[in-house]
Amino acid sequence: MSPEPLIHATGLRKQFGDFTAVDGIDFNVQPGEAFGFLGPNGAGKSSTMRMIGCTSPISGGTLRLFGLDPATHGRDIRRRLGVVPQLDSLDQELTVEENLIIYGRYFDLSRAEARRRAVELLDFVQLTDRAKSRVEPLSGGMKRRVTIARSLINEPDLLLLDEPTTGLDPQARHILWDRLYRLKQQGVTLVLTTHYMDEAEQLCDRLVVMDAGRIVAEGSPRQLIEQHATREVLELRFPAGTNADNEAYALGIGDRHEVLPDRILVYAHNGDEALAKAIGAGAKPESALVRRSTLEDVFLRLTGRTLVE
Amino acid sequence: MNSMPLLRIVPPVVRIARRPQRMVERQLMCYRRTWPILLSGFFEPLFYLLSIRVGLGKLVGDVKVGGRILGYAEFVAPAMMASSAMNGAVYDSTMNVFHKLKYARVYDAVLATPMGIGDVALGEITWALIRGLLYSCAFLLTMIVLGLASSPWIVLSLPICVLIGFAFAAVGMASTTYMRGWTDFEFVPTATMPLFLFSATFYPISSYGSWAWVVQLSPLYHGVALVRAANAGQSSWGNVGHVGFLLTMAFAGLWVVSRRLQSLLVK
Ligand SMILES: Nc1ncnc2c1ncn2[C@@H]1O[C@H](COP(=O)(O)OP(=O)(O)OP(=O)(O)O)[C@@H](O)[C@H]1O
Ligand SMILES: [Mg+2]
């Protein structure tokens, strides 16, 4: 018997005037799970996250968190959530430490308890030395870490992260991934959105691919790759503007292929074999690369578009 | 007895508020490091009152109000106090709130917690009143020191100024929810300046002749009349009307805030 889902959504919709941002999606998130929304700009990820965060009323369908209805129990639900919004909303008039303390006060923590947790959390995100600093001079990655620390002040059961690492350098991203991974191990349920394949593959047990307000695929990263892509991908680069002329070489050497502006992708079980066949047929690519399939390939397959332009 | 009809006149933001004191706490945290800025507010009354005491008071003769003769400075000082309460409340509830609403996204972060829009609205207005009360205390002290207080009842000017602040902060916040950009704020002085000049501030309402009814439409006039009555130690039924006018304005403002803030912040 599976436990009651932490989040339960059916036919969930979000409408802004005539425009439909989220167009009837169904999903469940189980306690302890790391669940991801993957999709390009405008897919409706943030709109969905705000509905889950009980700061945006739903336009249709049903949504339950902890078995409660956001329309009637918004406060009770928010009490148990941690929210990292897409755009940092730190209080510019306060210091890093004060940001955490006042946030704890919004959750009715005593001053002493809020202070104690602030110290602990700043240590967790490795920003103890910036505790007394104003927010403004911090780097993007540091602000993101403060926002994550802030979202943990009420020891949430469910953490909502809207593009937690967008705009960060690789090192900052890895620090964040590590922290999120630890939270997951402590039993915190994570729901995150991302543009990045590697992020989804690193962090998510299960994810849905969203496009234009709908869910187009669902599964674990592995399952999605197995279902919607081949094991390997051969990337062929030809001189600029000759992709169309060279498309013939990609025919028949793999399961299928895709012509992108800058390269041709051949989906094959064995990429090296496919490359050998293409060269044998007389192809003269400027460069060739064999790699494992990723969620990027899944996305391309499902929507005919690349995820990060 | 059924208390529902009474409850229904309470604006929604007040009914749904649970912890507005947290917004006040946030403001105190902000000012913990920048409290000298608060001090600047204390100089305003000093300069105003000195200029009247030293300058105008000498040039202009005594004024006859309600059968009593008052020195001009004694006549104008209460009006200055009321105007200062108005200006402070308007500033706090327009510019300051707009900045947090549109640019600093302070409220977006607040609303992701168990706090609600009632807490935000009521908390911000409460803060405007606390700050206003501080300034009114400074004003009162200055009046006493300069010998402009003519009755012990002048202490009532403190709650009166809080009421003035409440009325203007509620309406100020309501108008802020309609502002699209900073240029819209140029209309704020367009509204407060005439109020300041034509609320029986500098001359008694009797001198407006048949236009007196226009002056009575000004909320500041009712505030000025109350502070003046306190300074003169005069009680009258008219004061009940003045209080009623300001309370009505405050509640009307809060009703608009209730409706508008929801649509602005909860999308
Ligand atoms: N408050 C709003 N009013 C009107 N339209 C909105 C509003 N918020 C979002 N939208 C629209 O809804 C659509 C989905 O937006 P959303 O922010 O959910 O996308 P997203 O998947 O998070 O995109 P991104 O990757 O760029 O963050 C977009 O077309 C956006 O313009
Ligand atoms: Mg988004």
A207-248 residue pLDDT tens: 999 999 999 999 998 898 888 888 889 999 988 888 888 888
Contact criterion met (CB < 8 Å) for A85 and B108: yes
Sort B203 into a burial class: Cβ within 10 Å, 0-12 / 13-18 / 19+.
Answer: middle
In order along chain B (267 residues), what is the average pLDDT of each group of 10 residues?
62 83 93 77 76 74 73 86 90 87 86 93 92 89 88 94 95 92 86 85 80 85 92 87 94 90 83
Which 3 state secondary structure label does DSSP give A29?
strand
Q: Which tokens hold the place of B103? A: 């640019």
Cα A98 to Cα A132: distance, rounded to the nearest angstrom: 8
Q: Is A57 in the pocket of ligand 1 (CB under 6 A)?
A: no
Mean pLDDT calculated for residue range A135-156: 93
Which 3 state secondary structure label does DSSP give B98?
helix
Cα A29 to Cα A36: distance, rounded to the nearest angstrom: 10
Q: What percent of chain A has pLDDT over 90?
A: 62
Which 3 state secondary structure label does DSSP give A211?
strand
Site to substitute for ligand 1 among A23, A25, A46, A166, most atoms within 8 A of C-beta: A46
Q: Which tokens hold the place of B156? A: 């009532």
Check residue A36 and report its DSSP letter. E
Cα B86 to Cα B169: distance, rounded to the nearest angstrom: 8
What pLDDT shows up at residue A33?
95
What pLDDT shows up at residue A2?
58
Q: Does residue A118 contact residue A152 with C-beta atoms inside 8 Å? A: no
Identify residue B91 by its one-letter amino acid code.
Y
Beta strand pairing status for B63-65 and A7-16?
A: unpaired
Q: Kindly tell me if the per-residue pLDDT of A254 is higher than 70.
A: yes
What pLDDT shows up at residue A156?
96
Cα B190 to Cα B193: distance, rounded to the nearest angstrom: 6
| Nearest residue of A to residue B105, measured between CA atoms | A89
Q: Is A246 in the pocket of ligand 1 (CB under 6 A)?
A: no
Q: Is B8 on the interface with A (CB under 8 A)?
A: no
**Most confidently predicted of A103-117, A181-195, B49-63, B104-118:** A103-117
Check residue A128 and report its DSSP letter. G
Q: Which domains does chain A have, with CATH numbers?
A: 7-220 (3.40.50.300), 230-292 (3.30.70)
The 10s digit of each residue's pLDDT in A259-284 is 888 889 999 989 999 999 989 888 88
What is the per-residue DSSP string for A96-123?
HHHHHHHHHHHTT--HHHHHHHHHHHHH
Contact criterion met (CB < 8 Å) for A92 and B108: no
Q: Is A55 in the pocket of ligand 1 (CB under 6 A)?
A: no
Q: Is A110 on the interface with B (CB under 8 A)?
A: no
Q: Does residue A222 contact residue A298 with C-beta atoms inside 8 Å? A: no
Q: Does residue B82 contact residue B227 with C-beta atoms inside 8 Å? A: yes
Q: Does residue B108 contact residue B265 with C-beta atoms inside 8 Å? A: yes
Cα A173 to Cα A169: distance, rounded to the nearest angstrom: 6
| Nearest residue of A to residue B21, measured between CA atoms | A106
Q: Is A39 in the pocket of ligand 1 (CB under 6 A)?
A: yes
pLDDT band, very low/low/confident/very high, at A72 (cuts 50, 70, 90): very high
Which among B29, B110, B266 has CB closest to A57?
B266
Q: How far is A203 from chain B (nearest CA, A)?
A: 24
Contact criterion met (CB < 8 Å) for A106 and B267: no
What pLDDT shows up at residue B6?
62
What pLDDT shows up at residue B88?
87
Beta strand pairing status for A34-38 and A189-194?
A: parallel
What pLDDT shows up at residue B1?
43
Longest Cα pair distance anywhere in chain B, in angstroms? Answer: 60
Which 3 state secondary structure label does DSSP give B2?
coil
Question: How close is the Cα of A41 to the center of ligand 1, in Å?
Answer: 8
Cα A208 to Cα B98: distance, rounded to the nearest angstrom: 38
Q: How many residues does chain A have?
A: 309
Give me the residues of A, 154-183, that contact B with CB < 8 A. Answer: 154
> Is 0.80 surpassed by the pTM of this model?
yes
Q: How many residues does chain B have?
A: 267
Mean pLDDT calculated for residue range A5-33: 96
What pLDDT shows up at residue B60?
74
Query: Comparing A109-123, A148-162, B125-139, B193-207, which segment has the lowest mean pLDDT?
Result: B193-207
Q: Is A43 in the pocket of ligand 1 (CB under 6 A)?
A: yes
Question: How close is the Cα of A208 to the center of ligand 2, in Å?
Answer: 15
Q: Which tokens hold the place of A86? A: 């897409």
Q: How many CB atoms within 10 Å of residue A218?
A: 14
What pLDDT shows up at residue B109?
94
Q: Is B28 on the interface with A (CB under 8 A)?
A: no
